[in-house]
Chain A
Amino acid sequence: MQVDFHLPSLGADMESATLVQWLKKPGEAVHRGEAIAVVETAKGLIDIECFDEAVVGSLIVQPGTKVPVGAVLAQLLSETAGAPPPAKAAVPTPAAAAPARLSPAPLAAAPGGRARISPAARRRAHELGVSVEALERAGAGIVHLEDVEHLAAQAKPPAPDARDAMRIAIGNAMARSKREIPHYYLADTVDFSTARDWLASYNAKVPVGERILEGLLIVKAVALAAARCSGFNGYCRDGRFEPASAVNVGTAIAVRGGGLVAPALLGADRKDLPALMREFSDLVTRVRSGHMRSGEFTAATITVTALGEEGAELLWPIINPPQVAIVGSGRIALQPWVHEGAVVARPVLSLSLAADHRVTDGRAGSRFLRTIAELLATPAKL
């Protein structure tokens, strides 16, 4: 059975992507979860996974082509239906309907070697900032107005800075969030000394490469709390809450040079800390090298954002739509803390929650934050 392979939406704000590379050839088998192509979006290079057991039939979109979300990238022959052998040749990209009139005629180079450019084309080239040299290189024939405009259109988005594109993408998503989601905000402070002490002794016993970050304890605590408290893990679409079955925690990771992405640690509530740490390290490496998998991108059901040791004490995060909650973790710093009637210095974590008021209210939010704090107080159980 022939199945169309579409460009998936890799985020609420994504409209299109440029196909960078095919990772499979026609005739090759592709398994569920395997990457089939690399596309470039505003968020960087992303491996697109296949969700079928299939054989690649024909590759419809050629590398370098920008296509909208939902466009058919390839045709797969699903094995489950006993597909025939794959097509022998790739179907060429259907060219955009060209004006009927222009039938290419081979032309000799201009005598004397001077490029033959129509006056209108030359003036337009000047207006559009297209260099005449580029026109001369573009072909051996006469350069017409249409050629200049074609060339200018190709060069049009003058390779928009990837950082700018990411900033725009973040801006779009956040603006949508602020526009649509009635946020409410809560904050709480947590004595982090028990967690810190436990982690220090754990890390002392394992090789350097297996040490666990403090931030990961918070991720795990949030994952467990999200599994226990309803109304924080899932999506809100068209004003209706859809709880998610798995807890996939999106972790906001800063991208070198600016911008950030929030790929997900899948099933974070069911994985132990060492496993989560390995996945997290892998994720960070791939984010920084620009190779994320599409599933990781869209799978997050809740997000944790941390500013780290150098960050502010407290932050008020913005929900990543269509999710319904985001937990912010501020700088963990030594603070005066009242313990058994006395003021003592303790590492204190400021936790904040932004949640969707269409789904939960402040009471549930307080309980959710309290649950995270309690989990962090018993780190051995994480």
Chain B
Amino acid sequence: MSEPAAAVRLTYREAARQGLRAALASDPRVFLMGEDVGRYGGCYAVTKGLLQEFGPERVRDTPLSESAFVGAGIGAAIAGMRPIVEIMTVNFSLLALDQILNNAATLCHMSGGQVNVPLVIRMATGAGRQLAAQHSHSLEGWYAHIPGLRVVAPGTIDDARFMLGAALACPDPVLLFEHIVLYNMEGELTAGLASADIDHAAIRRAGRDVVLMTYGGSLHKCLAAAAALASEGIEAEVLDLRTLRPLDDAAIMDSVRRTHRVVIVDEGWRSGSVAAEVTTRIVEQAFYDLDAPVARVCTAEVPIPYPKHLEDAALPSPERIRETVQRLLARGGAS
């Protein structure tokens, strides 16, 4: 295992695997467990080859019981290990919700700070690959509701590679959401980069007319929309939230103060979503900087449909983002 010295072209999947490999190699307390992470190589092939490289002690296949292996991960973390638990998709994490909410998130608080749970749970999230309703939902917003957890969503190659290390360094449980359509995305790892923080949002594109606030899989839809808008003379800033809990309020409000117009793009359902939370914070903290109502582009409030055309119609798209911005910027628009 060697750190890349120059810009390397790789997929998001490979970047995530490099992150796992580096974590396993650098800290003997780190081990990986989950359904099919070992012999099968992970249902999205992220962990392929790690069993061969690190052995069955450190890369463990588990029974199909999310509650059991997440609970085991919590116990190992309390006992001094640094477990990385993979849950195939966020949809299945509901089976472990009791462990995550009632144990992982609460123990530090209930023990008066005596018991930390340094656990990392990786989950695939999102739709777009025709996996139907039970494999396609974006529930990270639910987890972002829970005090005691940190929720991060790597949207770039760099973050896929380095956010895991930062998550492992965090003394509290961290949920790391990888969007399923990003796994095949190719890009360059920034040369010389050795870490990523999990505290700050990042501006992925500068612009002065409107800000698109987003995270994860929707980041690239926003960048595509911003590029299209630029050809119409509209300069859209793109703010990658990166960490959904705790939200980087300072970066969010700075963007509002720069652009005065906000469109939040969130693949979760609109009601009670991350987008709803960000909107509320903007209204609370930067109301007088708004020159237009906050607009949201979210997923239609239906279980994600299986047919391609219906799935596409349900999800945020660059076209919908673009139209929303156009409406917002039209005189007196979006109200």
Contact = CB atoms under 8 A, between A and B. Distances in A.
Interface of A: 99-105, 107, 116, 118-123, 141-142, 144-146
B332 A105 contact: yes
Contact of A120 (B232, B234, B289): B289
Nearest to B209: A101
Contacts of B260: 118, 120, 145
A6 to B, nearest CB: 33
Interface SS, B side: loop
Contact of B291 (A100, A102, A121): A121
Given A100-B233, A118-B260, 13 more contacts: A99-B233, A101-B232, A101-B233, A101-B234, A102-B331, A105-B331, A116-B332, A118-B290, A119-B291, A122-B288, A141-B332, A142-B335, A144-B291
Most central of B209, B232, B287, B291 by chain A CB within 10 Å: B291
A144 B330 CA distance: 11
Given A120-B260, A145-B260, A103 B289 contact: no
Interface string B286-316: 0111111000000000000000000000000
A100 to B, nearest CB: 4
B287 A119 contact: yes
Give the top 4 A-B pairs by smallest Cβ distance, nearest first. A142-B332, A141-B332, A100-B233, A120-B291
Interface in B320-335: 326, 329-333, 335
B288 A102 contact: no
Interface in B239-296: 260, 287-292
Contacts of A118: 260, 290-292
Which of A100, A104, A144, A146 has the most chain B CB atoms inside 10 A of its CB? A144
29 contacts: A100-B232, A101-B209, A101-B233, A101-B234, A101-B326, A102-B329, A102-B330, A103-B330, A104-B331, A105-B330, A105-B333, A107-B331, A107-B332, A116-B335, A118-B290, A118-B291, A118-B292, A119-B287, A120-B260, A120-B288, A120-B290, A120-B291, A121-B291, A122-B288, A123-B288, A123-B289, A142-B332, A144-B292, A144-B331
Nearest to B335: A142
B118 to A, nearest CB: 43
Query: Contact residue range for chain B?
Result: 10 to 19
Contacts, number: 54
A105 B234 CA distance: 18
A121 B293 CA distance: 12
A141 B329 CA distance: 13
A222 to B, nearest CB: 62
A116 to B, nearest CB: 7
A244 to B, nearest CB: 53
A123 B234 CA distance: 24
Contacts of A121: 291
A141 B331 CA distance: 8
Contacts of B331: 102-105, 107, 141-142, 144
Interface in B52-74: none
A105 B292 CA distance: 15
Contacts of B333: 105
Interface of A is mostly: loop
Nearest to B234: A101
A145 B292 CA distance: 9
Contacts of B234: 101
A194 B209 CA distance: 79
Given A99-B233, A100-B232, A100-B233, A144 B290 contact: no
Contacts of A116: 332, 335
A360 B314 CA distance: 89
A122 B288 CA distance: 8
A141 B333 CA distance: 9
A144 B332 CA distance: 7
B332 A119 contact: no
Contacts of A142: 331-332, 335
Nearest to B334: A142
B290 A119 contact: yes
Contacts of A145: 260, 291
A99 B330 CA distance: 11
Contacts of A119: 287-291
Contacts of A120: 260, 288-291
Nearest to A143: B332
A145 B329 CA distance: 12
Nearest to A141: B332
Contacts of B329: 101-102
B284 to A, nearest CB: 12
Nearest to A104: B331
Nearest to B328: A101
B329 to A, nearest CB: 5
A141 B292 CA distance: 13
A101 B290 CA distance: 18
A102 B330 CA distance: 5
A101 B331 CA distance: 9
A259 B287 CA distance: 50
Contacts of A102: 329-331
Contacts of B288: 119-120, 122-123
B288 to A, nearest CB: 5
Contacts of A144: 291-292, 331-332
Contacts of A141: 331-332
A34 B291 CA distance: 51
Residue of B232, B260, B287 contacting most chain A CB atoms (<10 Å): B260
A107 B327 CA distance: 13
A122 B290 CA distance: 10
A300 B135 CA distance: 90
Nearest to B327: A105
Contacts of B289: 119-120, 123
A362 B83 CA distance: 101
A149 to B, nearest CB: 11
A52 to B, nearest CB: 42
A102 to B, nearest CB: 6
A197 B209 CA distance: 79
A144 B290 CA distance: 9
Contacts of B232: 100-101
Contacts of A104: 331
Interface in B214-237: 232-234
A163 B93 CA distance: 78
A145 B259 CA distance: 11
